[in-house]
Amino acid sequence: MRLEVGKIFINDIRFGESTHVENGVLYVNEKELIDLFIEDDRIKSAKIELAKPGESVRITPVKDVLEPRVKVSGSGTNFPGVVGNKVKQVGEGRTHVLSGAAVVTVGKIVGFQEGIVDMSGIGAEYTPFSKTLNICVVIEPEEGIESHAYEAAAREAGLIVTNFIGEAARNLEPDEIEVFETKGIIEQAKMYPDLPRIGYVCMLQSQGLLHDTYVYGVDAKKIIPTLMNPTEFMDGAVISGNCVASCDKIPTYLHQNDPIIEELFEKHGKELNFMGVIITNENVFLADKERCSDGVAKLARLMDLDGVLITEEGYGNPDTDLMMNCKKVEQNGIKTVLVTDEFPGRDGKSESLADAVKEADALVSCGQGNIVITMPPMDKVIGTLEDIETMIGGYDGSLKEDGSIEAEIQIIISATSAFGCNKLTARMH
């Protein structure tokens, strides 16, 4: 499959009479965007707010982050199986991207695992979304609405708005075009016979209770391990629908811009032969963990891989899925490298992961989520601070009278993401 990604660089966002791009500026019309979803009887009210890098702005509670894209040619549509309910395979043709812009959905928490994006200050250093030009969709749910219904409404609103904004890129000439291509397994293996055949095992959060990921519109807990072309991710085939711990969270934006996929493509044909992505889920029951880890090992063997990278989303229970995948793939003679974050406690003296196997002897750390920082007060809050102390990473006394926040970096969106989109790591001494 061959996908051309045409990037239109966005340098600023502003409100305007219509939603369009002009001279590198993305203009959005608030009424135009809100009218897309406000008739939803699960939503009481909504507003659109803008946040730019360097501003004294705090966005919270953040539910998802998405990048505006549009399918210009090739099969399918952006966010297949969800927006417009058109279920066709994506990942080829051309897709245009409003690069630098992001849609951020914001609303009251339903548990404790939504988080913060600061646009300046120390908190901004921990999240990639302090660097994006953010169109914030702030949603107020109807009174008494059930949690899953509210989360679904917020998720759908974000997807609809993102898809609509992406249409502004359809007829624009890209500033840059990147080409991503892989062949069928046999043909791909023959192209670079002297390079190691490398795959990527992407573990999707699917533990339920608002911990969900969707693949072509299907809840990932219903799938078995599946081989996907990496370019399918770039067209929105995988979307976030979960409230996993904020620092671990893989928003839809990161599935669209998976740094590991991009790095493997960068080295493809030079240092390695990138053979494809195996997606699998993170299960609650042992039988499901056994079934899916068996499937991951089987696919890696059938692809005749020399090595795989394995990532996870979340921590604790998913650490067992991570280790089972590692052990079974290694037992098939395939080398593994794990990418994860750590939770050793504030003093660093606890076990970093909830599970371990001897085969897990190559691991990349994306930092530890128990670090405590103090984020300064901001001039403007998009959303509300009322639930700061009940969010994961927060605690009684986290929110100070002056508006500053003392908390573990768990509270910051994607601060220790296992996709490696951050600046944190750890080294053994």
What is the tens place of the pLDDT at every residue in 63-74? 999 999 999 999
Would you call 100 helix, strand, or coil by DSSP? Answer: coil
Buried b (16+ CB within 10 A) or exposed e, 178-196: eebbbeebeebbeebeebe
Q: Which residue has the tokens 């702030």?
A: 138
Q: Mean pLDDT throughout 334-363?
A: 89
Q: Is residue 297 part of a domain?
A: yes
Which pLDDT score is estimated for 101? 98
Q: Given a cut of 90, is residue 424 above it in pLDDT? A: no
What is the tens place of the pLDDT at every residue in 197-242? 999 999 999 887 778 899 999 999 999 999 999 999 999 999 998 8
C-alpha to C-alpha distance for 176 and 72, rounded to whole angstroms: 15
How large a percentage of the chain has pLDDT more than 90? 78
Q: Is residue 428 part of a domain?
A: no
Q: Given the residues 243, 326, 366, 421, select the one marked as catalytic.
A: 243
How large a percentage of the chain has pLDDT more than 70? 98
Q: Is residue 287 part of a domain?
A: yes
What is the tens place of the pLDDT at every residue in 282-325? 999 999 999 999 999 999 999 999 999 999 998 888 899 999 99
Q: What is the dihedral of CA 328, 330, 334, 335, to 10 degrees?
A: 140
Q: Given a cut of 60, is residue 366 above it in pLDDT? A: yes
Q: Is residue 378 part of a domain?
A: yes
- Residue with the larger pLDDT of the pair 352 and 279: 279
Alpha carbons within 13 angstroms on the beta-carbon side of residue 31 total 3
Q: What does DSSP assign to residue 221?
A: G
Average pLDDT, the chain: 93
Which pLDDT score is estimated for 96? 98
Q: Is residue 276 part of a domain?
A: yes
What is the tens place of the pLDDT at every residue in 119-160? 999 999 999 999 999 999 999 999 988 888 888 899 999 999
Q: Is residue 8 part of a domain?
A: yes
243 catalytic, yes or no?
yes
Which pLDDT score is estimated for 148? 84
Which pLDDT score is estimated for 349? 80
Amino acid present at 40: D
What is the tens place of the pLDDT at every residue in 75-116? 888 899 888 667 889 999 999 999 999 999 999 877 667 899
* Beta strand segments in 123-249, E: 133-141, 176-181, 197-204, 213-215, 218-219, 226-228, 238-240
Q: Is residue 356 part of a domain?
A: yes
What is the tens place of the pLDDT at every residue in 265-274? 999 999 999 9
Beta-carbon neighbour count of residue 273 at 10 Å? 24
Q: Given a cut of 90, is residue 181 above it in pLDDT? A: yes
Print the domain residue range for 188: 2-411
Inter-residue contact 364 to 342 (CB < 8 Å): no
Encoded tokens for 259: 């740094």
Would you call 6 helix, strand, or coil by DSSP? Answer: strand
Q: Mean pLDDT throughout 254-272?
A: 96
Structural domains of the chain, count? 1
C-alpha to C-alpha distance for 177 and 95, rounded to whole angstroms: 10
Q: Is residue 425 part of a domain?
A: no
SS (HEC) of 257-309 = CCHHHHHHHHHECCCEEEEEEEEEECCCCHHHHHHHHHHHHHHHHHCCCCEEE
C-alpha to C-alpha distance for 201 and 226, rounded to whole angstroms: 10
Angle between the 317-331 and 286-302 helix axes, to the nearest 10 degrees?
Answer: 40
Q: Given a cut of 60, is residue 429 above it in pLDDT? A: no
H helices of 303-371, in order, are 317-331
Dihedral sign of CA atoms 96, 214, 224, 309 in order: positive
